[in-house]
Amino acid sequence: MTDAAPTTPPPFDCLALIGVGLIGSSLARIARRAGLAKRIVATARSAETRAKVAEMGIVDAVAPDAAACVAGADLVMVCTPVGAYAAIAAEIAPHLAPGAILSDVGSVKQAVIRDIGPLVPDGVHFIPGHPVAGTEHSGPEAGFAELFDGRWCILTPPPGTDAGAVERLAAFWRGCGSLVEEMDAGHHDRVLAITSHLPHLIAYTIVGTATDLEDSLEAEVVKFAAGGFRDFTRIAASDPIMWRDVFLNNREAVLEVLGRFSEDLSALQRAIRWGEGDKLEETFRRTRAIRRSVIEAKQA
Amino acid sequence: MTDAAPTTPPPFDCLALIGVGLIGSSLARIARRAGLAKRIVATARSAETRAKVAEMGIVDAVAPDAAACVAGADLVMVCTPVGAYAAIAAEIAPHLAPGAILSDVGSVKQAVIRDIGPLVPDGVHFIPGHPVAGTEHSGPEAGFAELFDGRWCILTPPPGTDAGAVERLAAFWRGCGSLVEEMDAGHHDRVLAITSHLPHLIAYTIVGTATDLEDSLEAEVVKFAAGGFRDFTRIAASDPIMWRDVFLNNREAVLEVLGRFSEDLSALQRAIRWGEGDKLEETFRRTRAIRRSVIEAKQA
């Protein structure tokens, strides 16, 4: 795919958002601001969230359920935790309009193809996607129109997907400010296991380790968090359900990279135990180069 | 100690800075701006850094070596990696002025007492300290006067230290914008092993794991770093020598907390392997509370 600057593609007639958390509500905001859809309809599982979204006025209509939400939509975006996808697919399949694009924003992609793929009716274009963007905040109030600006969105169309539909979805994401890349779903899951899933698992672990300390020590951990710990607490404040589903649905890739990580950690542990300063220093120098690359890639 | 708002204490006659990296150069800037010392003298091991500091004009004089730097100073701050402390103490001990306060900014404290303590002449007040503040940048240009603002500085005076000298040093740090806390050195090392040393070790490890990937995958890790990885690259860009010395000099506390962390990580690994979603979710929920505490403590 290309990585051109944001442009305004011809709008979709109706964008249906199933789930209105951080990502869904950010999509609603940018889609309206950039004129990417003539009409935006959304739904959420809880009546409370639906009422809140209606009150916030960030969409044109709130549908009572996913089936009603997708009726007549030519772009359907599933924006819930991935563990809910199979049930949603079963619910919406009979109501999807012919020629519609069905996509999602989940952080894993093979499991999405596994859970939704078999249920997609003929004539509907199924193109899984993943905007690599987010914050530690959740819920409809957490969204903002600039969330995707300069960030990558990865599309993983299954083999044989209509190229025109893929390009239309790519243009939508570029209209949101994203850079778009096309990738095999399995490769996506392996890359993201390293850049996103492992970092979250580690952050959750280290903050969890701190919560198991005696109370007096835990209070001091909070007080002196500025030494590095605070960055981990931010990552470990991410949505628990979303992340539970990520780990359950990208098991193999996460376990594989976790194995490498554990080996590397053991090697550093051993270097500390035996006072091998050269080995520590060598590792700590190597990692600086990656930081420079991340800054140069404008993803810092 | 107290945590009163910044006030201007009576200035020291001469502040000697041994080492002018991120911390030392920040101290020079705030000490001058806040009028905490009538005169500031600094030295650095390399002629290049000394020349740079002279050119930057952030101190009143640059001394050719540590012995010359401390002559006549009533506050001496050692701001080098802790591995250099023993040699510096031997060099400066004969030149320290009677009644001077000798302190430091190192991230470990028991090792500092071990390395410097025995060499301190009678009449000199030895009060180790640790400002819990920093960035991933190093060197004299990286410093800024606001670095310590609202951050804790921990003082670990050995038993029997003159209370008036401790209060004078505390007032200096409050003048820098810090909140000041007094603590036993061993307790400090245990708390910081969790809040700072372990997070850095983990970040170095995970970024190191990524550098061992095949080249094509490494490029993608950089590209899609926004999924969480980028925060780790920032932490893992910290000064390699400083951190080597931290791990070599806080071995027991780091290995102890690393053991806890590894156990907790194994438990989550097992939960992923066996698809135990409830266990994952429960851990991921618990960690949110700590984030709230860190935000409430204004250390986010």
Residues B40 and B60 sit within 8 Å (Cβ to Cβ): yes
Our CA-based measurement puts residue A105 at a distance from the nearest CA of chain B, in whole angstroms, of 13
pLDDT digits (tens, 9 = 90+) for B218-265: 888 888 988 889 989 999 999 999 999 999 999 999 999 999 999 999
Same domain, A37 and A155: yes
Which of B224, B266, B268 is the best substitution to test chain A (most A C-beta atoms within 10 A)? B224
Chain A residue numbers with beta carbons less than 8 Å from the beta carbon of B152 are 223-224, 226
Mind listing the pLDDT tens digit for each residue in A163-175? 999 999 999 999 9
Tell whether the model's pLDDT for residue B207 goes beyond 50. yes
Question: Does position A2 have pLDDT exceeding 50, yes or no?
Answer: no
DSSP 8-state class, residue B233? H
Phi, psi of B51 (to 5 degrees): -65, -40
Q: Which residues of A touch B262 (CB under 8 A)?
A: 262, 265
A275 and A205 inside one domain: yes
A262–B230 C-beta distance less than 8 A: no
Of B294, B291, B295, B270, the C-alpha closest to B280 is B270
In a domain, B106, yes or no: yes
User: Are residues A260 and A150 part of one domain?
Assistant: no
Q: How does DSSP classify residue A141?
A: G
Side chain identity at B34, as an amino acid letter? A
The pLDDT value recorded for residue B2 is 46
The residue among B13, B32, B210, B28 whose CA lies nearest residue B99 is B13
How high is the pLDDT of residue A118? 97
Inter-helix orientation angle A251-273/B251-273, to 10°: 160
Average pLDDT, chain A: 94
| Domain boundary, last residue among A167, A183, A199 | A183
Extract the tokens encoding B137. 């940048």
With 60 as the cut, is the pLDDT of residue A262 above it? yes
Residue A254 inside a domain? The answer is yes
In which band, very low, low, confident or very high, does the pLDDT at A7 lie, cut at 50, 70 and 90? low
Same domain, B203 and B255: yes
- What residues of chain A lie within 8 A of the CB of B227, using their CB? 107, 132, 134, 192, 195-196, 199
Tell me whether residue A249 is in a domain. Answer: yes
Tell me which chain B residues have a C-beta less than 8 angstroms from the C-beta of A234: 231, 291, 300
Rounded to whole angstroms, how far apart are CA atoms B66 and B85?
Answer: 11
- Does the beta-carbon distance from A281 to B233 stay under 8 Å? no
In a domain, B131, yes or no: yes
Contact B244 A202 (CB under 8 A): no
CA distance B187 to B253: 10
Classified as helix, coil or strand, A102 is strand
Helices A215-223 and A198-211, axial angle in degrees (round to 10): 130
Angle at A164 between CA A11 and CA A98, to 5 degrees: 70
Based on the fold, state whether residues A17 and A139 are members of the same structural domain: yes
One domain for residues B265 and B200: yes
| Residue found by looking up tokens 């392996």 in the block | A190
Indicate if A151 and A245 belong to the same structural domain.
Answer: no
Asked if A133 and A206 sit in the same domain, the reply is: no
Task: Give the integer Cα–Cα distance in Å for B125 and B119.
Answer: 12
B105 vs B188: CA distance, rounded Å: 13
**What is the 8-class DSSP label of residue B84?**
G
pLDDT at B1 over 80: no
Same domain assignment for residues B58 and B155: yes
Q: Is A232 in a helix, a strand, or coil?
A: helix
Q: Is there a contact between A260 and B299 if contact means CB atoms under 8 Å apart?
A: no
- Report d(CA A14, CA A9) in Å as an integer: 14
Tell me the helix, strand and coil percentages in chain A, rounded to 5: 55, 10, 30
Domain CATH code at residue B85:
3.40.50.720
User: Is B226 within 8 Å of A281 (Cβ atoms)?
Assistant: no
Q: Average pLDDT over chain B, rounded to whole?
A: 94
Helix B198-211 with A198-211: angle, nearest 10 deg: 160
Rounded to whole angstroms, how far apart are CA atoms A293 and A92? 43
Among residues A148, A183, A218, the one where a domain terminates is: A183
Verify whether the Cβ–Cβ distance A227 to B283 is below 8 Å: no
**Judgement on whether residues B167 and B197 belong to the same structural domain of the protein:** no
Closest CA to A183 of A156, A219, A152: A156
Is residue B50 within 8 Å of residue B111, measured between CB atoms? no
3-state secondary structure of A187: helix
Does residue B221 sit in helix, strand or coil? Answer: helix
The Cα–Cα gap between B28 and B40 comes to 7
CA distance A68 to chain B (A): 30
Say how many CA atoms lie within 13 Å of A241 toward its Cβ: 9
- pLDDT (tens digit per residue) in A83-140: 999 999 999 999 999 999 999 999 999 999 999 999 999 999 999 999 999 888 999 9
Q: Between the CA of residue B23 and those of A139, B19, B77, B86, B274, what are the distances in Å?
A: 39, 9, 10, 19, 47
Residue B215: exposure state from Cβ atoms within 10 A (0-12, 13-18, ≥19): exposed
Determine, yes or no, domain membership for A235: yes
pLDDT digits (tens, 9 = 90+) for A30-78: 999 999 999 999 999 999 999 999 999 999 999 999 999 999 999 999 9
Given pLDDT bands bounded at 50, 70 and 90, which one contains residue B61? Answer: very high
Q: Is A46 exposed, middle or buried (0-12, 13-18, 19+ CB in 10 A)?
A: exposed
Q: In chain A, what residues touch B290 (CB-CB under 8 Å)?
A: 207, 210-211, 218, 221-222, 233, 236
Residue among A33, A34, A55, A127 nearest A42 (CA)? A55
Tokens of A187: 């490769």
CA B78 to each of CA A252, A293, B74, B126: distance values in angstroms, whole numbers, following the listed order: 49, 33, 13, 11
ipTM of the complex: 0.90
For residue A121, the distance in angstroms to the closest alpha carbon of chain B comes to 30
Q: Please judge whether A224 and B299 are an interchain contact, meaning their C-beta atoms are less than 8 angstroms apart.
A: yes
In this complex, the residue of A134, A191, A265 whose CB is nearest that of residue B205 is A265
pLDDT at position B210 is: 87
CB contact under 8 A, B290 and A195: no
Closest CA to A152 of A121, A195, A197: A195
Q: Check CB contact under 8 Å for A236 and B287.
A: yes
- CA-nearest residue to A147 within chain B is B226
Residue of B208, B225, B288 lying closest to A195 (CB–CB): B225
Residue recorded with tokens 């120098």? A285
Q: Which two tokens stand for residue B145?
A: 């006067």
What average pLDDT does this structure show over B57-73? 98
Among A4, A51, A43, A5, which Cα is nearest to A24's?
Answer: A43
Is residue B26 within 8 Å of B110, Cβ to Cβ?
no
What DSSP designation does A105 have? -
Query: What proportion of chain B, given as a percentage, has pLDDT over 70?
Result: 98
CATH number for position B214: 1.10.3660.10
A87, part of any domain: yes
Domain end residue (candidates: B183, B200, B230): B183
Check whether residue B169 and residue B203 sit in a common domain.
no
Q: What is the pLDDT of residues B92-112, one digit of tens each?
A: 999 999 999 999 999 999 999
Helix B215-223 and helix A185-192: axis angle, to 10°?
70
Q: Which domain holds residue A261?
A: 188-296
Q: Given an 8 Å threshold on Cβ–Cβ distance, is A208 in contact with B132?
A: no
pLDDT higher than threshold 50 for residue B125: yes
- Nearest chain B Cα distance for residue A293, angstroms: 7
Q: How many CB atoms lie within 10 A of CB B8?
A: 11
The DSSP call for residue B172 is H
Closest CA of chain A from B264, distance in Å? 6
State the Cα–Cα distance between residues B126 and B161, nearest whole angstrom: 7
Q: How many domains does the structure of chain B reveal?
A: 2
Rounded mean pLDDT, B161-166 = 97
The Cα A185–Cα A282 span in angstroms is 35
- Do B169 and B28 reside in the same domain of the chain? yes
Inter-chain contacts counted by CB atoms under 8 A, chains A and B: 307
CB-CB neighbors (< 8 A) of B222 in chain A: 290, 293-294, 297, 299
On whether residue B23 sits in a domain, the answer given is: yes
- Answer yes or no: is A3 within a domain: no
Best of A107, A189, A233, A243 to disrupt the B interface by mutation (most B CBs within 10 Å)? Answer: A233
∠ CA(A231), CA(A234), CA(A236), 5° rounding? 110
Q: How confident is the model at residue A217 (pLDDT cuts 50, 70, 90)?
A: confident
pLDDT in tens, B2-15: 445 556 788 999 99
Q: Could you tell me the two tokens for B247?
A: 């791990």
* Pair A235, B288: CB distance under 8 Å: no
Residue A1 pLDDT exceeds 50:
no
The pLDDT value recorded for residue B26 is 98
Q: Which of A284, A286, A299 to mutate: most B Cβ within 10 Å?
A: A284
Q: Which residues of B touch A195 (CB under 8 A)?
A: 210, 220-221, 224-225, 227-229
| Cα–Cα dist A162/B207, whole Å | 38
| Other CB atoms within 10 Å distance of the CB of residue B55 | 10
For residue A99, which of A191, A13, A228, A197 has the smallest C-alpha distance?
Answer: A13
Region B72-86 average pLDDT: 97
The answer to whether the CB atoms of A229 and B194 lie below 8 A apart is yes
Bridging pattern class, strands B75-78 and B101-104: parallel
